[in-house]
Amino acid sequence: MRSVQRCRFFLLTTPWLLVLGCATFGEKRPAASSSEDSEEIGESSTRDSSEPAEISMPRAAAAVRDNRAAPILQVAVAGKVTYPSVYGYPLYPEGDAARGIPALRTENWDGARQQDTEDQGGVVHAVEELPQLGCRFDGIRENMNKFVPVSLTCELPAPKALGGAKRPVLGAVGAGAKPEQLLKSRPVQEAFLGEFHLTSDDFNSGSGTGYFNTTHGQLAFVFSKKRLTRFVYYFDPGVKGWQNPALWVKP
């Protein structure tokens, strides 16, 4: 038994203004495991359980993206660290694996669209769409040199060029899956013990969101009429690595 920090995010009046609260829970976890082969999602190593994991950037993330049999989303647990990868690109703010977001953006930039919208309060909301992946980043642009990411949203199923409805989303679970199918999947059983950490108030109606806490953010699965339609990764606003300008340079 060891304690892990679970961070919970609460949405305020706009979709990308978040307040973070953390609590410590005792929980059994494997010392080092992953839902997919480590070479696909990034190799990891830990000197001992008290030190942070060293996550490497996968050697061929684009190959995972192009492999129609590979899940769109992968979750890895390495020591005290739990983190996701999207189409083979790790979402991780530290070390070598921090190259995951720049690679995801650069290698899938064809057809990309960026739009900044200033609200009545002077806050600039930035959206970056990546049609090749069916994904988009949302965030706040504080100035020309500082972008604060809020979320990465990926619609389901995958684009036809990447496998469409036949491509699995997580483990063997596909687009349109029911919540109970997601919870019974091997990756969710291994990384999250088969339970959502939080659900939206409308979840029991069949059209809501289930959340899993990860080390540097929160992973959300959105259902409509009890069918999985998209997933969202919410970046922890307290993790400064997410705001590194090198991650957000325009390709």
State CA 212 to chain mean position distance: 10
CA dihedral sign of residues 22, 24, 27, 29: positive
Cα 1 to Cα 29: distance, rounded to the nearest angstrom: 8
* Entry pTM: 0.81
> What are the pLDDT tens digits along the chain (251 aa)?
333 333 444 333 334 334 334 333 333 333 333 444 434 445 443 334 345 568 889 888 999 999 999 999 999 998 899 999 999 999 999 999 999 999 999 999 999 999 999 999 999 999 999 999 999 999 999 998 899 999 999 999 999 999 999 999 999 999 999 999 999 999 999 999 999 999 999 999 999 999 999 999 999 999 999 999 999 999 999 999 999 999 999 99
Q: Give the rounded distance of the alpha carbon of 168 from its chain centre.
A: 16
216 closest CA partner among 86, 80, 13, 99? 80
Domain boundaries, the chain: 2-247
